[in-house]
Amino acid sequence: MTFWDTANIHETYREIALALKQLGPARARIVISSKIEAKTARGARRQLDSALRALRRGWVDIILLHYVRESLSCWESALDTLHKAKRRGEVLAVGLSTHNPRFVRDGVARKVVDCVFVTLNVAGTWVEGRGGTRSMIEACQDAARTGVGVVLLKVLGNGALIPQRSRALRWAIGQAFADGVIVGTETIAQLRDTLRYFGGRGDPC
């Protein structure tokens, strides 16, 4: 498991930095994504600097605008700051996370995102806006066709689908347009179940 997702508001940079240190040379394989909430240039720069300092890495692989639920016009200053950081090598990819297909389409149309992280699961929960799951799938398919990376969030429905873990994960990883799947984890037991599932060592359910 080499794709680690966090966010500024989760306050887990310290723990991630410690885990990277303990990995030794293997840490080079780890891809880290994080999210910022700031909409101003100064706020975005401050939150990015916080991540860079805490992770002690010199760069962050992916930085996202966190939970976009309004026009990207409101995020223009933050986006500009992140793209400047990308040109300096402090960020490798810029994107957004959202529950609404409208903002997936907005980001792709404006050509300001390298990737989108979207809520999508077999039960159709957590998707906002018109059209529900079908609209989100179509928006993601369109994004993928333009070369924008697509990563699925809340594939276990924020925990509600844990009793159906195998079915939910099969559905998520079966979406051809998805480049990655983030499985939320709150306990060591849940992490072990996820590792066992993707490691092919038996069904965690």
Residue 101 counted as domain residue: yes
One-letter-per-residue 3-state SS of 38-53? CCCHHHHHHHHHHHHH
Residue 204 counted as domain residue: no
Residue 205 counted as domain residue: no
One-letter-per-residue 3-state SS of 104-119? HHHHHHHCCCCEEEEE
Q: What is the pTM of this model?
A: 0.94
SS3 64: strand
Residue tagged 């992916």 (tokens): 62
Domain hosting 80: range is 3-198
Are 183 and 156 in contact by the 8 Å Cβ rule? The answer is: yes
Helices (H) and strands (E) in the chain, counts: 7, 7
Residue 81 counted as domain residue: yes
Residue 46 counted as domain residue: yes
- pLDDT for 44: 98
Are 4 and 33 in contact by the 8 Å Cβ rule? The answer is: yes
CATH number reported for the structural domain that contains residue 125 in this entry: 3.20.20.100
Residue 18 counted as domain residue: yes
- pLDDT for 204: 40
CA distances from 132 to 119, 142, 177, 196 (A): 11, 16, 17, 31
Nearest to 116 by CA among 129, 132, 105, 131: 105
Nearest to 182 by CA among 158, 201, 146: 158
- pLDDT for 200: 62
Q: What is the largest CA-CA distance in the chain?
A: 48
> Per the structure, how many domains does the chain have?
1
Instruction: Give pLDDT tens digits along the chain (205 positions).
Output: 889 999 999 999 999 999 999 999 999 999 999 999 999 999 999 999 999 999 999 999 999 999 999 999 999 999 999 999 999 999 999 999 999 999 999 999 999 999 999 999 999 999 999 999 999 999 999 999 999 999 999 999 999 999 999 999 999 999 999 999 999 888 999 989 888 888 864 444 3
Are 65 and 97 in contact by the 8 Å Cβ rule? The answer is: yes
